[in-house]
Amino acid sequence: MDYIWDKSLETGHKRIDEQHKQLFNSLISIIEASKQGHGKDEIFKTLDFLGEYTIMHFKTEEDLQKEFDYPDYTIHKKCHDDFKGTINDLTCEIKKKGPSKKLINTVTKTIGDWLITHIKNSDIEMASYLKSKGAFCA
């Protein structure tokens, strides 16, 4: 599957959408580094960035949710926390076993599929709520 940003992933919140785009760009960087046979250092660097950027992005969303009393905050935060654990586990596995093509494919599919599902099923709903509360910047 190609993990390319498109209009179906837009929440309409400029900062959240820009951060989502950066997450997709990081995922694509991992895929490209693997395809081009780049060294494991490049793959690890990108994975580390993805992990750090994910934490920052989740904080942005969670801060907005708390500020505007998002009713599904606890559920949304649990999804984020679980995913942070998943990214950590996958990164540790790649660092332990090495970045084989098969393992990189597993990592990118797991992360990419989760991002698409989460954005379409949770973040768009959250953004709609934020918009209804006047917390929107187009």
Residue at 42 is within a domain: yes
State which residues form the domain around 123.
13-130
User: How many percent of the chain have pLDDT more than 90?
Assistant: 46
Instruction: Tell me the CATH number at 50.
Output: 1.20.120.50
Report residue 1's pLDDT band, with 50, 70 and 90 as the boundaries.
low
Q: Is residue 126 a part of any domain in this protein?
A: yes
Is residue 8 in a domain? no
pLDDT exceeds cutoff 60 at 138: no
For residues 51 and 88, the answer to whether their CB atoms sit within 8 Å is: yes
Q: How many CB atoms lie within 10 A of CB 117?
A: 11
Residue 6: inside a domain, yes or no? Answer: no
**Is residue 121 domain-resident?**
yes
Prediction pTM value: 0.87
Task: Give 18-71 pLDDT, tens digit per residue.
Answer: 999 998 988 888 888 777 776 577 778 878 888 898 999 999 999 999 999 999
- 138, part of any domain: no
- For residue 124, CA distances in Å to 66, 86, 97 come to 17, 22, 36
* Predicted confidence band of residue 125 (pLDDT cuts 50, 70, 90): very high
19 lies in a domain? yes
Q: Count how many domains the chain has.
A: 1
Local structure of residue 72 (DSSP, 8 states): T
Calpha distance 138→101 (Å, rounded): 39
Does some domain include residue 68?
A: yes
